[in-house]
Amino acid sequence: MTKTVYLDNNATTRVAPEVVEEMLPYFHDLYGNPSSMHFFGGQVNRRVEDAREKVAALLGAKPDEIIFTSCGTESDNASIMGTLDRYPEKRHFVTTRVEHPAVWNLCPYLRSKDYRITELSVDHNGQLDLEELKSVIGDDTALVSIMYANNETGVIFPIDAIGEIVKARGIPFHTDAVQAVGKIPLDMSKQPIDMLSLSGHKLHAPKGIGVLYLRRGTKFSPLMKGGHQEKGRRGGTENVPYIVGLGKAAEAARANMEEENTRIQTLRDRMEKGLVESIPNTIVNGDTANRLPNTSSVCFEYVEGESILMMLDEVGVCASSGSACTSGSLEPSHVLRAMGVPFTAAHGSIRLSLSIYNKDEEVDHLLKHMPPIIENLRGISPFWKDFKEGKMPAAFAG
Ligand code: PLP
């Protein structure tokens, strides 16, 4: 059987064995409800608070600024809806054209509720123009929500500079840091951020647990209205095993970040260099100087990303596409389109994302198999033929 080489860690990560170990007692023996008055619940409650402290330490936050949620999407929705609800007279929301659907797909909904939305553009490197940000925010801006790092390209936005611009106008600032947390250091005690979203399954905790960081004093109304859990900011009985698991994962991420991320970056850079040097017309998308250490969005011109993924799958490599297949037509990703990546390149883009579990031999495996895959696909690509003959590839023109 072909060994699995998992290079899709921005989609989800393996739950660390020590995280699973830490969680198990909370299914078997310590199954109390942390809100219960008796000792059985109380001991569980202490472990929830312990996990809160560990997550807070990873973020440089205070424990009472950590609200446990069910996922990154909930944290994004709660931040945005929970802020807009507190400023009903303000009808302007600012975000970017490259957000994850957890934010992006809220925009049509907000428009239907008579909000004016500004989606900031990005340049060819996937970077924002901060002058544009300054020019669009105004007295009726209720909230600015800008992601920390892009899930497809890994491009990191200058969040401190953005936060300063937004805060100087007295406007709340939320960042979707789902892809950044655990990969680069963050420090809420120094950074101008009011709200931040993270998701456990991107940092070796299970799927189904997230966090909303809410700076003390930030106006917010809960999305999940219910019991008094999470100091009345998120109703619902706490998912104790997952919270404990996330605490463990946060502790490990904090302890290992520097060393592991240097190793991952070295591996990622070797992978990219190998691909670019061995395959003509291969381009790395995005601002390579300001990028997550684990992420690579690579385009192989004149072939289709989906075909590459299928052929990689046959040799045991899991990656993902920069494009989504919608209603029978292949639409390149909204992120690459926003960056103005030509169709010939956007269609042939794939995302490779590494984690602490990836090894040198796995990158060697990819580097061995990728050149013949691209050569085969280009052999049957009319666009590659046109390109080689110096003609414009008509179907992708524009
Ligand atoms: N935001 C970003 C940038 C993401 O990459 C993801 C997941 O891929 C999410 C939000 C959603 O997180 P979750 O899957 O926990 O809802």
pLDDT of amino acid 345: 87
Q: Which atom of ligand 1 is nearest to the CA of 102?
A: 10
CA pair distance 7, 22, nearest whole angstrom? 26
Q: Please work out whether the CB of residue 248 comes within 6 Å of at least one atom of ligand 1.
A: no
CA pair distance 102, 318, nearest whole angstrom? 23
CA pair distance 385, 398, nearest whole angstrom? 18
How would residue 392 be classed by pLDDT, with cut points 50, 70 and 90? low
Residue 31: C-alpha distances to residues 67, 68, 167 (Å): 21, 18, 43
How would residue 219 be classed by pLDDT, with cut points 50, 70 and 90? very high
CA pair distance 371, 139, nearest whole angstrom? 54
Q: What is the mean pLDDT of residues 292-319?
A: 96
For residue 222, the CA-to-ligand 1 centroid distance in Å is 20
Full DSSP string of 65-119: GEEEES-HHHHHHHHHHHHHTT-TT--EEEEETT--HHHHTHHHHHHHTT-EEEE
For residue 294, the CA-to-ligand 1 centroid distance in Å is 16
Structure tokens at 9: 């860690």
Q: Is the pLDDT of residue 396 over 60?
A: no
- For the chain, give every residue range classified as CATH 3.40.640.10: 17-253
Q: Please work out whether the CB of residue 295 comes within 6 Å of at least one atom of ligand 1.
A: no
Residue nearest to ligand 1 atom 5, measured at CA: 151
Q: Please work out whether the CB of residue 71 comes within 6 Å of at least one atom of ligand 1.
A: yes
Q: Is the pLDDT of residue 391 over 90?
A: no
Exposed / middle / buried, residue 192 (Cβ in 10 Å: 0-12, 13-18, 19+): middle
Q: Which atom of ligand 1 is nearest to the CA of 150?
A: 3
Q: Please work out whether the CB of residue 151 comes within 6 Å of at least one atom of ligand 1.
A: yes
Q: Is the pLDDT of residue 293 over 60?
A: yes
For residue 29, the CA-to-ligand 1 centroid distance in Å is 32
- Cβ proximity of 177 and 203 under 8 Å: no
For residue 74, the CA-to-ligand 1 centroid distance in Å is 9
Q: Bridge partners of 5?
A: 317
CA pair distance 69, 103, nearest whole angstrom? 16
Q: Please work out whether the CB of residue 178 comes within 6 Å of at least one atom of ligand 1.
A: yes
pLDDT in tens, 156-174: 999 999 999 999 999 999 9
Q: Please work out whether the CB of residue 103 comes within 6 Å of at least one atom of ligand 1.
A: no
| Straight-line distance from the first to the last Cα atom of the chain, in angstroms, rounded to the nearest whole number | 43
For residue 8, the CA-to-ligand 1 centroid distance in Å is 13
Query: Structurally, what CATH architecture does the domain formed by 5-10+257-393 represent?
Result: Alpha-Beta Complex (3.90)
How would residue 393 be classed by pLDDT, with cut points 50, 70 and 90? low
Q: Which atom of ligand 1 is nearest to the CA of 99?
A: 3
CA pair distance 383, 387, nearest whole angstrom? 6
Q: What is the mean pLDDT of residues 241-263?
A: 96
- Cβ proximity of 80 and 107 under 8 Å: no
How would residue 344 be classed by pLDDT, with cut points 50, 70 and 90? confident
CA pair distance 121, 360, nearest whole angstrom? 37
pLDDT of amino acid 102: 97
pLDDT of amino acid 2: 65
pLDDT of amino acid 397: 43
| Residue bearing tokens 């569980």 | 44
Q: Is the pLDDT of residue 327 over 70?
A: no
How would residue 332 be classed by pLDDT, with cut points 50, 70 and 90? confident
Q: Please work out whether the CB of residue 175 comes within 6 Å of at least one atom of ligand 1.
A: no
Residue nearest to ligand 1 atom 9, measured at CA: 72
- For the chain, give every residue range classified as CATH 3.90.1150.10: 5-10+257-393
For residue 72, the CA-to-ligand 1 centroid distance in Å is 5
Q: Is the pLDDT of residue 312 over 70?
A: yes
Give helix 39-59 / helix 240-278 axis angle, nearest 10°: 30
The distance from CA 158 to its chain's CA centroid, rounded to whole angstroms, is 16
pLDDT in tens, 29-82: 999 999 999 999 999 999 999 999 999 999 999 999 999 999 999 999 999 999
pLDDT in tens, 2-35: 689 999 999 999 999 999 999 999 999 999 999 9
Tell me, yes or no, if 325 is annotated catalytic.
yes
How would residue 383 be classed by pLDDT, with cut points 50, 70 and 90? confident
How would residue 390 be classed by pLDDT, with cut points 50, 70 and 90? confident
pLDDT of amino acid 321: 83
Q: What is the mean pLDDT of residues 222-240?
A: 96
Q: Which atom of ligand 1 is nearest to the CA of 147?
A: 3
The distance from CA 28 to its chain's CA centroid, rounded to whole angstroms, is 32
Catalytic residue among 107, 299, 318, 325: 325
Q: Which atom of ligand 1 is nearest to the CA of 177?
A: 3
Q: Please work out whether the CB of residue 351 comes within 6 Å of at least one atom of ligand 1.
A: no
Return the CATH fold of 17-253: Aspartate Aminotransferase; domain 2 (3.40.640)
pLDDT of amino acid 330: 63
pLDDT in tens, 179-211: 999 999 999 999 999 999 999 999 999 999 999
Structure tokens at 238: 């706490």
Q: Please work out whether the CB of residue 70 comes within 6 Å of at least one atom of ligand 1.
A: no
For residue 205, the CA-to-ligand 1 centroid distance in Å is 14
Average confidence score pLDDT of the chain: 94
Q: What is the mean pLDDT of residues 244-261?
A: 96
